[in-house]
Amino acid sequence: MQLTVISGKGGTGKTIIAVAISELERSAKVDCDVDAPNLYLYYQGQEIFQEDFSGGKQAVVDQLLCHECGICQTVCKFEAIVNGQIIPFSCEGCGACVLACPEQAIELRDAITAEVLVTRVSGGILSHSRMEIGSEGSGKLITILRKKAQEYAGEELIINDGSPGIGCPVISSLTATDGALIVTEPTQSGLADLQRIATLCRQFKLKTFVCINKADINEEISAQIEAYCKETGLIFVGRIPYDETVLKSINELKPIIYYKNSMANQAIRAVWDKVRKELFSC
Amino acid sequence: MKIAITSTGKELTAGHDPRFGRCAYFLIYDTEEDTYKAVENKGQLAGGGAGIGAAQQMTDEGVQVVLTGNLGPNAYNLIKASGIKAYQCKAVSCQEALALYKAGKLLEISQAGPSHAGMS
Amino acid sequence: MNIAVLSGKGGTGKTTVAVNLAAILKANYVDCDVEEPNGFIFLKPRNIRSQDVKVLNPVIDKAKCTLCGECVKACQFNALFNTKKEILVFEKLCHSCEACRIACGSGALSFQERKIGVIEEGEGDGLKCYRGILDIGEPMAVPVIRQLLKNVPEGFNLLDCSPGTSCNAVSSLRYAQGAILVTEPSAFGLHDLKMAVKLVREFSLPFGVVINKWDESGYLLEVYLWQENIKVLGRLPQARKAAEEYSKGRLLKDLPLYQAGFTALAEEVKEVFLCS
């Protein structure tokens, strides 16, 4: 069973909720938010797997063979070659320059862009990565992280902490999961992003749950979100109140479910109860 | 006739890999010569379109039959368009998969499985 | 001059800082977060004009194609397939690099346009607003960002970038001459800020940091900034009121609690980026 926690918009509290759920239920955890991997900050454990990851290829020019004819520069659609020098951040590894070079002075090489790590932590394994900044291929990296989790997980449940947006990494976080939990917030931005991410989930025909974090910030939009869920067949699983304890829990890197008097804690537990029932009912 | 089996290793005794696009090897068995060879799946670690890359390898190798687990939508359509027959099999080793196929006990895959995009 | 507004982590207030600063400085606002563009909600531009963003995908002329498969071999993205009867194109995997055209020996390849998003422009209160929007289900945002940034006007532009340090944020940075990094004083914020700092240093851009949701808990962040000799452009307080105003799509710059902070921030930004 796999659940992916996503948000569309960043900073809605996705990771906090993913951590809470994976504390409530024994589960393997995958940090799919490879650009801003925060999940592992909560955990200490023993590394049981490490591997270099190549996100794609990059062109490399052999300066000895290069005659500076400049043909490579004219064929490159990504403006990634300037005066015979490859600009690493821009090169997409398409190989057009390799084909066009009359001197065969350019070749494609694997670019090491990240490290894949599996760590054994309390309550299950954690599959995560350390990515070089500005790297390409995060979708493929997410696929590998999820595969590794399946390999090492003894648990029945895998929680994927997704990334913001609707593009390539999000698509990779959502494929072949059993359900998606969208964490949204009652703001105009939150609502706009919810509609975009929900459309994507529909394209994937996923069982899609929605919860509103900081729901009492704007009751009116919270009601709108609930109505939107009803209209479009999204399973609404609850409101989580604005709670300053959450900020405290992030700073102390202690999952919110261990703060007994926290209102958010109680609400998240209720959310998970509902999701759990639906998820395991089929 | 050439039969490809999605495999976890290079020998017929190796486990059958139910994944198509992301399997480690293809064992290609030649029925006329009763020989086989292992080819690495080039699509295995592709950024995207692994099933497409794997299906291309099948066409390039002149394979007529594929024994695998599921085919994603892209791979299914391409295998079909290339006139290759795909059979579903859950056997534990490649050898057994081949025996089951020869005995006519495997079902032809008649629809695409879910899009896994590398996750199966 | 293009100044990129970045954040390592999502939800730190990057858009809040970008739209309020644009409104104060009367700078052009450019929303480069094309997967989730939200800036227009706050600036409410009028008179919106839009243009499609299109990419080029190959089309095969069957009369000329010899089915040699060179194009398939050349494609690094598995976007082409040779059934031995025809060449099929998988448009969403195509990067429009045209390597297939170079590889084709029989001139059988041409290109046709396909829409993947739109670019919009309009007028807010005394400023111009631009944004890109990626169509849902399209995986590649970079072509939308690129077209958006190639069409921004001369003058002072604030680029509201995608969160994180991935290819989307990087492709916006290529067009920037300076950067404002927005962070928050949590352990998450600090962790992701370090990645963003590494990125702007890689690009050798002048930059400064805005600490949003500032409170005393951020001492580790302040220590880090001081050790790294990073300029703090401003500190904006943490308040439930801000979250409420944001939720309604309103600017914060005129709220009593934020007015001074934003005015001071705008002055710093002017001094750091415009006077040097």
pLDDT means per 10 residues, chain B with 120 residues, are 92 86 89 92 73 91 92 88 90 87 90 56
At residue B119, the pLDDT reads: 41
Provide the pLDDT for residue A155. Answer: 67
Write the pLDDT tens digit of every residue in C105-125: 999 999 999 999 999 999 999
Hey, of A101, A136, A217, A252, which one would you mutate to test binding to chain C, going by the most C CBs within 10 A of its CB? A217
The residue count for chain C: 276
pLDDT digits (tens, 9 = 90+) for C55-82: 999 999 999 999 999 999 999 998 999 9
Instruction: Give the number of other CB atoms < 10 A from CB of residue B60.
Output: 16
Residues 6+ apart with CB under 8 A from A168: A138, A139, C139, C140, C141
Residue of B42, B44, B52, B82 to mutate, interface with C, max C Cβ within 10 Å: B52
Domain limits, CATH 3.40.50.300, in chain A: 2-53+129-280
Residues of C in contact with B53 (CB under 8 A): 78
Closest CA to C2 of C123, C176, C232, C252: C176
DSSP string, chain A: -EEEEE-SSTTSSHHHHHHHHHHHS-EEEEE--TTS--GGGG---EEEEEEEEEEEEEEEE-TTT-----HHHHH-TT--EETTEE-TTT-----HHHHH-TT--EEEEEEEEEEEEEEEETTEEEEEEEE-TT-S-HHHHHHHHHHHHHHH--SSEEEEE--SSSSHHHHHHHTT-SEEEEEE-SSHHHHHHHHHHHHHHHHTT-EEEEEETTGGG-HHHHHHHHHHHHHHT-EEEEE----HHHHHHHHTT--GGG-TT-HHHHHHHHHHHHHHHHHHT-
Superfamily of domain A2-53+129-280: P-loop containing nucleotide triphosphate hydrolases (3.40.50.300)
Please answer yes or no on whether A36 and C188 come within 8 Å at the CB atom: yes
Long-range contacts of A87-92 (CB under 8 A, 24+ apart): A88/A58, A89/A134, A89/C170, A89/C174, A89/C202, A90/C171, A90/C174, A91/A58, A91/A59, A92/A56, A92/A136, A92/C95, A92/C97
CB contact under 8 A, B119 and A176: yes
User: Is the pLDDT score of C16 beyond 70?
Assistant: yes
C71 Cβ partners below 8 Å, 6+ apart?
C58, C60, C80, C87, C100, C101, C103, C104, C109
∠ CA(C210), CA(C212), CA(C218), 5° rounding? Answer: 95
Beta carbons of C93 and B48 less than 8 Å apart: yes
Compute the nearest-CA separation of A253 from chain B (Å): 31
pLDDT value of residue B114: 60
Residue among A147, A145, A142, A149 at smallest CA distance from A170: A142
* CATH class belonging to C2-53+119-274: alpha beta
Mutation for testing the A interface, residue in B22, B70, B119, B120 having most A CBs under 10 Å: B119
Specify the pLDDT at position A154. 73
Domain A63-104 architecture: 2-Layer Sandwich (3.30)
- pLDDT, averaged per 10 consecutive residues of chain A (282 residues), comes to 91 93 94 89 93 89 94 95 90 95 94 91 90 73 90 87 85 87 95 92 89 96 97 96 91 93 96 94 69
In the block, tokens 């057994």 appear at: B96
Q: What is the pLDDT of residue A183?
A: 97
Question: Would you list the domain boundaries of chain C?
Answer: 2-53+119-274, 62-107
CB atoms B120 and A146 under 8 Å: no
Partner-chain residue, chosen from A7, A133, A196, that has the shortest CB–CB distance to C199? A133
CATH 3.30.70.20 residue spans of chain A? 63-104
Q: Which of C149, C204, C138 is nearest to C172 (CA)?
A: C149
CB-based contact C78 B46, cutoff 8 Å: yes
CATH of B2-108, one of 3.90.1150.10, 1.10.580.10, 2.60.40.10, 3.30.420.130: 3.30.420.130
CB C137 within 8 A of CB A200: yes
CA of C222 vs chain A CAs: smallest distance (Å): 14
The rounded distance, in Å, linking the Cα atoms of B6 and C117 is 39
Using an 8 Å CB-CB cutoff, list chain B residues near C139: 48
Question: Contacts of residue C248 in chain A, CB cutoff 8 Å?
Answer: 187-188, 218
Touching subunits of B (3+ CB pairs, under 8 Å) are: A, C
Q: What is the mean pLDDT of chain C?
A: 93
Spatial neighbors of A67 by CB under 8 A, at least 6 apart, are A102, A103, A105
Please give the Cα distance from A60 to A101 (Å, whole number). Answer: 12
CATH of C62-107 among 3.40.50.2300, 3.30.70.20, 3.90.209.20, 2.40.40.20: 3.30.70.20
C236 Cα to chain A: minimum distance (Å):
16
